[in-house]
Amino acid sequence: MKTKTTKIIYWSGAIFMSLWFGASGFFELTKNPVVWDITQQLGYPPHFIYILGVFKISGILVLLLPDRLLRLKEWVFAGMFFDIIFAFFSKIAVLGFPATIDAIIAFFVLSVTYLMFRKLYSPELVFGED
């Protein structure tokens, strides 16, 4: 795969995930009833919802910076994976499998995006290894 194609796939995925997590983070911080009702139904306390919102907004800011903060982007990807996995298992336990479709889609898109990130940036660039 050519570098240009890899970059297009990476940035498409990064923008999609930023919109997804940005909307979610915004709704968590503004106490949108739909997001809050579902999250509380899953058993999460209110203070946790605000923390999620702050970290999601912060994470997308890092994710959208081109060619900067690569090590921190690794942490952002990890946080997004954990968020999606916890959402999946919380929803499957409380709401049932049909409620997990969004988590499955997000997991797939994030996985492809992360693979393209790893193709674009070697460990030497990300972690400063020699």
The confidence score (pLDDT) of residue 85 equals 97
Q: Could you tell me if 12 and 125 are in contact, meaning their C-beta atoms sit under 8 angstroms apart?
A: no
CA–CA distance, 7 with 11 (Å, rounded to integer): 6
Q: Could you tell me if 46 and 40 are in contact, meaning their C-beta atoms sit under 8 angstroms apart?
A: yes
Global pTM? 0.91
Residue position matching structure tokens 């940005």? 22
The confidence score (pLDDT) of residue 129 equals 60
11-25: average pLDDT: 97
For the segment 61-96, what is each residue's pLDDT rounded down to a tens digit? 999 999 999 999 999 999 999 999 999 999 999 999
For the segment 20-45, what is each residue's pLDDT rounded down to a tens digit? 999 999 999 999 999 999 999 999 99
Residue among 75, 74, 67, 80 at smallest CA distance from 123: 74
- Token readout for 64 is 């959208």
Dihedral-angle region of residue 37 (phi above 0 means left; psi in -120 to 50 means alpha; beta otherwise): alpha
Q: Please say if the pLDDT value at position 115 is more than 50.
A: yes
